[in-house]
Structure 1
Amino acid sequence: MISQKEKLTLSKDILLSILRAVIQLTIVGYVLKYLFQVNNVVLTALMSFFIVVNAAWNAHKRNPHPIKSYWNSLFAIFISTYVTMGVLVLSGAIKFIPSQVIPISGMIASNSMVAIGLCYRHLFSKFQDQRQQVLEKLALGAPIKLASLPILRESIKTAMQPTIDSAKTVGLVSLPGMMSGLIFAGVDPVHAIKYQIMVTFMLLSTTSLGSIIAGYLAYKHYFNSHLQLIDTTKKEEA
């Protein structure tokens, strides 16, 4: 009603997202029920990879640059997800069973996806705003990495900031999903906190790895083969 009254043009998106959420969650519920019963290592790994592929596709779509590569997003999310997951499994924090690996994969990949999307959008915005500064650095003989470094650093920091802010206020402002879910299930709050500490560390790990890898791969698309800065405004208009 607010969307219609204020002409936000969000009504269609809201209804579609609700419909998709209901359908997707219903299907996933039955799929997870089957996977938990079967408890097969290969199926568990495939489901985890399916989550990563979808997260990469959504991160790729959030990149406003006209020249972009899906493989960059997939590589960034793949590395950030499975490096973090590998540490958790090898340290014994979680077991490689469907009921633990699949939900954790979703949490890690989704946060990496959001961070990478923020990194992409900030890169695009800053390369437009600071186009003249980059051109001046290139004219003075700076390589593309040096010319882009301030933008790249700021984009990575922007991508990580929501996770860092969340870590600062966890327990004081919000009681996150995993901790709240465990408490609802009757688990001792002190035990639930231990899991939440693990989640906080793993999210910081995946967002930092994902945004750094994606940023260092994506900034190169702002330059052509002659190491000249591409005018993204003209390409966007075209």
Structure 2
Amino acid sequence: MALLDPSSSAFWIEFLKGMLKPALATAVVLMAVVLSFLQKLNLEGEMVYAIVRAFIQLSIIGFVLEFIFTQKNAAWIILAYLFMVSVAGYTAGQRAKHVPRGKCIAGLSILAGTTLTMILLVLLNVFPFTPRYIIPIAGMMVGNAMAVTGVTMKRLREDLKIQMNLVETALALGATPRQATLQQVKRSLVIALSPVLDNAKTVGLISLPGAMTGMIMGGASPLEAIQLQIVVMNMLIGASTVSSILSTYLCWPSFFTKAYQLETKVFTAE
């Protein structure tokens, strides 16, 4: 739908017409609700809540983006980006809720990783610094960095908890905290980044990703869609890697005391 004045009747007519297909697509959710009921999964309420919430959230963000795209002030881009990072940091921190200051660490890691990637893309003239490009691209990077960062922090704590004796032995033999936890950090990063890398290896063979599918359905050439998807995969790997590695550096001090001993209270919380 072309950018129209939200106060005009033409805008609302086009909006209602556009919402017809999404409304019809709820038939798929109703099928899932029925199956949940028949299988006694007790997920019917959660399914309905999820789809209603998604409908409301996407409708609101649609109006917000409609407004932002008409603005020429870069402050709106930065504001939208910081909002996404804040929500992502909170969500990733919730996944790693037993890591001290987990939400703050996750937020800073996601901010640093996605900002660095975004700056490189803009400087290399891959994308222009406009709301129509930056906000969707930032959303994809922040979403992936959120998932990877949350898993990295959670997995690192769990591995250290399981291997506390091994880490303490290494510390007793003179290893620094970083040296004593090197294997646990590597394992956490490998596990967290594996889905992103596996997705890049199989892209186009198993599924057509969202950006590519959206362009093709919008009438773009498959070759143009492929070019964009290659850029998207590259930036997702870059942003996710930087964010996940930084999160290990930031949460590492929380696992040790000032005397370089394991902070046992971090690992006893349930």
Q: Cα offset for 1:68?
A: 2.7
State whether structure 2 residue 257 is matched by structure 1 residue 208: no
1:32 to 56, 62, 65: 65
Residue equivalent to 2:117: 84
Q: Deviations over 1:20-64 (max 9, x none)?
A: 212111110100011112232111221112111111111111113
Tell which deviates more after alignment, 178-187 or 42-51: 42-51
In 1, the alpha carbon distance for the partners of 2:60 and 2:41 equals 31
State whether structure 2 residue 113 is matched by structure 1 residue 54: no
Q: Cα offset for 1:3?
A: 5.5
Larger RCO, structure (CA 8 Å, separation 6 or more): 1
Residue equivalent to 1:182: 215
Q: Which has the greater radius of gyration?
A: 2
State whether structure 2 residue 239 is matched by structure 1 residue 195: no
| Percent of aligned pairs sharing the same letter | 36
Unaligned runs of 5+ in 1: none
Contact in 2 for aligned 1:76/1:211 (Cα 8 Å): yes
**Where in structure 1 do 4 or more consecutive aligned residues deviate above 3 Å?**
1-16
Q: Cα offset for 1:233?
A: 4.5
Match of 2:268, as an amino acid? Answer: K
Residue equivalent to 1:145: 178
Unaligned runs of 5+ in 2: 1-32
SS in structure 2 opposite 1:187?
coil
Q: Cα offset for 1:67?
A: 2.2
2:49 to 16, 35, 54: 16
In 2, the alpha carbon distance for the partners of 1:8 and 1:213 equals 39
Change (3 A) 1:78 1:135: same
Contact in 1 for aligned 2:99/2:254 (Cα 8 Å): no
State whether structure 2 residue 179 is matched by structure 1 residue 131: no
Residue equivalent to 1:120: 153
Residue equivalent to 2:138: 105
Q: CA RMSD in A?
A: 1.9
Residue equivalent to 2:27: none
1:94 to 101, 109, 127: 127
